[in-house]
Amino acid sequence: MSVQLDARPPTPAARRTTRPPRAFRLSRLDERYSPYLYVAPFFVLFGVFGAYPLIYTFWVSLHDWDLLGTEHPFVGAENYTRLMADPDFWHSVVNTLGIFVLSTVPQLLAALWLASLLNRQLRARTSWRMAVLVPNITSTAAVAIVFGVLFGRQFGMVNWLLDLVGVGAVDWKANRFASWVAISAMVDWRWTGYNALIFLAAMQAVPRDLYESAAIDGAGRTRQFWSITVPLLKPTIIFAVIVSTIGGLQLFTEPRMFHSGTNPIRGGPLRESQTMTMYMFENAFAPHYNFGYGSAVAWLLFALIAIVAALNVVLLRRLGGTDRPVQARRSRKERPR
């Protein structure tokens, strides 16, 4: 990316030559402090909606905090030590990671493939590009309810189709792996198109001369894709992976709405697809109303996301070999390819 180096505001020269008049002093104040005002909206919003809840949640997690109670005794790290020894918590961690891997890996690969398809010369290209985003603008709850019905044990369409091809019915909601697959299908249906568009945008920024010289050197389409497109897309892929990590590990609406009936927050009778956020909700709200314990789950979730995101970045750096900066000077009319 080229950076516009001359974008700094002009510095007032000759500041010390005369005694500053009043208006000038005001403008100096303005110059010195107004930039802070300009960036303040973000930091104020972040402080109110980001930092404050974060710190408050941590404060709550150090207490025995009954949601409706009036007294909240300080218990130190007790919530955390209990959580570490809580098998249901670790069960939900495994579920979360399982659903995350099962949904994110195919999702990003499919998005990459879709993006490269959309990047070709196609008839009605814009409509195709719009079309892949359609699942993303539907309401999550509606999608989850529809998928919940599709994956029903006795009246679901998926089992009906399986039956047609001679495969026995699957109890999608009371089988751990099957419920992971069903929920991943839901997530992928919704998010693949979105990631494909992000990849597509990045692909269009890849300079065309690289492909031309590769073609001259005899590289085929596949070779071009893996040796040029993918390495140059690395920053975008890292971005997509991190965002998917955050979203995937916080999965709540899909698994929650997938289950209906009594205690859907458990994610199945044996907690087959209870994610960490659902476990947090179960403890902080019904039926336990133990806000302190729920907050401790929230903080461990935060830690887990940070760890997994960092791991992803390291892993991707390794896989992609050395970082190759894009030294392209591309002219605008070259795009789109």
Interface positions with other proteins (CB under 8 A): 42, 46, 49-51, 53-54, 57, 66-70, 145, 148-149, 152-155, 171, 174, 246-247, 250, 252-253, 259-266, 269-270, 277, 280-281, 283-290, 293, 298, 301-302, 305-306
As measured in angstroms, the least distance from the Cβ of 159 to other proteins is 11
SS3 labels along the chain: CCCCCCCCCCCCCCCCCCCCCHHHHHHHHHHHHHHHHHHHHHHHHHHHHHHHHHHHHHHHHCECCECCCCCCCECCCHHHHHHHCCHHHHHHHHHHHHHHHHHHHHHHHHHHHHHHHHCCCCCCHHHHHHHCCHHHHCCHHHHHHHHHHHCCCCCCHHHHHHHHCCCCCCCCCCCHHHHHHHHHHHHHHHHHHHHHHHHHHHHCCCCHHHHHHHHHCCCCHHHHHHHHHHHHCHHHHHHHHHHHHHHHHCCCHHHHHHCCCCCHHHCCCCCCCCCHHHHHHHHHCCCCCEHHHHHHHHHHHHHHHHHHHHHHHHHHHHHCCCCCCCCCCCCHHHCCC
As measured in angstroms, the least distance from the Cβ of 288 to other proteins is 5
As measured in angstroms, the least distance from the Cβ of 252 to other proteins is 5
User: Could you tell me if residue 10 is left (phi over 0), alpha (psi between -120 and 50 degrees) or otherwise beta?
Assistant: beta
As measured in angstroms, the least distance from the Cβ of 1 to other proteins is 21
As measured in angstroms, the least distance from the Cβ of 250 to other proteins is 5
As measured in angstroms, the least distance from the Cβ of 196 to other proteins is 21
Q: How many residues are present in the chain?
A: 337
Contact 267/98 with Cβ under 8 angstroms? Answer: no
Closer residue to other proteins in complex, CB, 105/145: 145
As measured in angstroms, the least distance from the Cβ of 83 to other proteins is 11
Closer residue to other proteins in complex, CB, 207/294: 294
Closer residue to other proteins in complex, CB, 100/225: 100
Closer residue to other proteins in complex, CB, 227/263: 263
Closer residue to other proteins in complex, CB, 72/234: 72
Closer residue to other proteins in complex, CB, 73/269: 269
Closer residue to other proteins in complex, CB, 27/57: 57
As measured in angstroms, the least distance from the Cβ of 116 to other proteins is 27
Closer residue to other proteins in complex, CB, 87/166: 87
